[in-house]
């Protein structure tokens, strides 16, 4: 018997446009089998965005690819400040190569599922994979194959990662991670340095606030879109059910009409037989 995890793996490997109907079908089957716990667990599953689905797909279908990326990300973090600039450049080149190979795999898996990933969706998937390489928490979410939205890693104090609905942001640029040593700056007074630091912190705080506000708008719009899609699909299913009922009733009406016509012919024949019998009776009856 399938477990909730097995069913979820199947659902999150489906294209998002097929997710809701497939989930509802499994929920109905679980209820019909009397498994209310399974029905409840499946009913709580939410439809992922396409960008998140692409990453779920590779995590579920090709987990070795995810493990290779995560392992390389750990190797790059361990190498920071330890190996030479040339070795860091080699790691950076390998990082780019493995990400490109993963994106090519995503496109093939999506095509096998009958979908064509857009550049924007592939960019979201790339950002999520890059986040998994840079942050262990993101790596665990990617491994699980249950992402609802793309992940990102900003590189400034870590990313923001939600369990059931991960936040979307932009992965830290490769150049920033693997840049060589900076050119030494001329000495500055402590007051000037403090002012510049305060200004930089204020600018970062303002940028973070703008990003957070924009993210809230994206999250709200995503929820609204998800609800609208589910409502549309529910209404479409209701319309299909009603169309089926109309077709069945129309067929039944045609059959009844045919039976009415046959019954009318039988009635007319019976009336003719009765009139004939009455005439014969009149002829043989005594005056």
pLDDT at 156 (0 to 100): 40
pLDDT at 246 (0 to 100): 86
3-state helix, strand, coil in the chain (%, to 5): 75, 0, 25
**Domain ranges in the chain?**
4-43, 48-179, 191-287
Residues 6+ apart with CB under 8 A from 48: 12, 16, 19, 56, 147, 148, 149
pLDDT at 169 (0 to 100): 34
Q: Measured between alpha carbons, how far is 26 from 144 in angstroms, rounded to an integer?
A: 21
Q: Which string of DSSP letters, residue by residue, matches 173-234? A: PHHHHS--PPPPPPP--HHHHHHHHHHHHHHHHHHHHHHHHHHHHHHHHHHHHHHHHHHHHH
pLDDT at 155 (0 to 100): 55
pLDDT lower than 70: segments of the chain: 1, 154-224, 226-227, 230, 234
How many other CB atoms sit within 10 Å of the CB of residue 149?
A: 21
pLDDT at 240 (0 to 100): 72
């Amino acid at each position: 018997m399938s477990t909730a995890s097995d069913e979820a793996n199947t659902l999150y490997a489906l294209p998002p446009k097929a997710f809701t109907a497939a989930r509802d079908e499994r929920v109905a089957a679980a209820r019909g089998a009397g498994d209310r716990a399974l029905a409840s667990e499946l009913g709580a599953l939410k439809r992922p965005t396409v960008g998140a689905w692409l990453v779920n797909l590779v995590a579920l279908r090709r987990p070795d690819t995810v493990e290779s990326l995560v392992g390389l990300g750990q190797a790059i973090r361990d190498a920071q400040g330890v190996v030479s600039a040339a070795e860091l450049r080699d790691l950076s080149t390998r990082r780019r190569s493995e990400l490109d190979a993963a994106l090519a795999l995503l496109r093939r898996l999506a095509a096998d599922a009958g979908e064509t990933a857009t550049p924007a969706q592939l960019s979201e998937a790339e950002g999520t994979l890059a986040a998994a390489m840079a942050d262990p928490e993101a790596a665990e979410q990617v491994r699980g194959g249950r992402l609802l939205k793309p992940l990102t890693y900003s590189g400034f104090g870590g990313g923001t990662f939600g369990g059931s609905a991960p936040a979307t942001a932009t992965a830290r640029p490769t150049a920033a991670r693997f840049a060589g040593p900076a050119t030494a700056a001329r000495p500055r007074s402590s007051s000037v340095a403090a002012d510049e630091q305060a200004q930089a912190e204020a600018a970062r705080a303002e940028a973070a606030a703008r990003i957070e506000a924009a993210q809230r708008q994206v999250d709200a719009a995503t929820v609204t879109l998800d609800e609208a899609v589910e409502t549309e699909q529910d209404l479409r299913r209701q319309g299909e059910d009603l169309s089926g009922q109309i077709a069945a009733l129309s067929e039944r009406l045609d059959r009844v009409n045919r039976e009415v016509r046959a019954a009318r012919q039988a009635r007319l024949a019976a009336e003719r037989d009765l009139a004939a019998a009455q005439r014969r009776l009149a002829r043989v009856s005594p005056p």
